Amino acid sequence: MAAIRVHGNVFSACTMRVFAALYEKDVKFELVPIDLGAGEHKKEPFISLNPFGQIPAFEHGDIKLFESRAITQYIAHEYADKGTPLVTRDKKMAIIALGCEVESQKFDPAASKLTFELVIKPMLKMTTDAAVVEEYETKLAVVLDVYEIRLSQSKYVAGESFTLADLHHLPTIHYLMGTQSKKLFESRPHVKAWVADITARPAWKKVIALQK
């Protein structure tokens, strides 16, 4: 079997999402570091892997992918019988797909904006815009109110088992739990318990260890 190569950065939320899926599946991979500061993601050879010039990119033999959620879907299906079952082969897959859509369409737009303002900007010595933070905390709160109801009915977003629908949330949750936005998660008991559960997973701890 051809080796898996992940082109990305250990601090990139999208790259971390791919690492998490690989670790959950206990699949070995090679990390090909991409220097964003040097603009390596905007030129060859990377641009041949992702013409949009964004990390990560993924190679597995003749399979070449970009977009982190598409990559995790590939990993989950290609290694369906290995490691953590992140997807199913029955009608419950529709519930997992729904959870994944909610994460990408409802949760991530607000969570990523807050991550940029509260984590990325300070790292780059840029000034955080308090008005933007307030706006997007309000938006994320609305989403998390829905999550609180959902998680009062099941242990995880898509049922009683950890799936891609949960995994996709991990990078932005990880970063936001180190910011003032932590209160949005901690003030909702079922959301708080869910966050504690998924961030304590051994696979996720391996992802964080890559940053050290």
Do 138 and 202 have their domain in common? yes
**18 lies in which domain range?**
4-86
Mean pLDDT of the chain: 96
Of 37, 59, 86, the residue that ends a domain is 86
Do 78 and 20 have their domain in common? yes
pLDDT over threshold 90, residue 127: yes
pLDDT over threshold 90, residue 26: yes
Reported pTM: 0.95
> What mean pLDDT do residues 12-20 have?
98
The answer to whether position 211 is within a domain reads no
> What mean pLDDT do residues 120-141 have?
96
66 pLDDT band (50/70/90 cuts)?
Answer: very high
CATH number at residue 56: 3.40.30.10
> What mean pLDDT do residues 185-198 have?
98
Please write down the long-range contacts of 71-78, taking CB distance under 8 Å and 24 or more positions apart.
71/17, 71/18, 71/21, 72/17, 72/18, 72/20, 72/21, 72/164, 72/167, 72/168, 73/164, 75/18, 75/21, 75/22, 75/25, 75/27, 76/21, 76/25, 76/164
The pLDDT of residue 2 is: 72
pLDDT over threshold 70, residue 179: yes
The pLDDT of residue 191 is: 98
Of 51, 86, 121, the residue that ends a domain is 86
The answer to whether position 153 is within a domain reads yes
pLDDT over threshold 70, residue 202: yes
Is residue 18 within 8 A of residue 58, CB to CB? The reply is yes
Do 198 and 106 have their domain in common? yes
The pLDDT of residue 1 is: 57
Q: Cα–Cα distances in Å, from 4 out to 18, 32, 85, 141?
A: 11, 10, 19, 38
Query: pLDDT tens digit string along 152-171?
Result: 999 999 999 999 999 999 99
pLDDT over threshold 70, residue 112: yes
Q: Which residues of 166-190 are buried (b: 16+ CB within 10 A; e: fewer)?
A: bbbbbbbbbbbeebebeebbeebeb
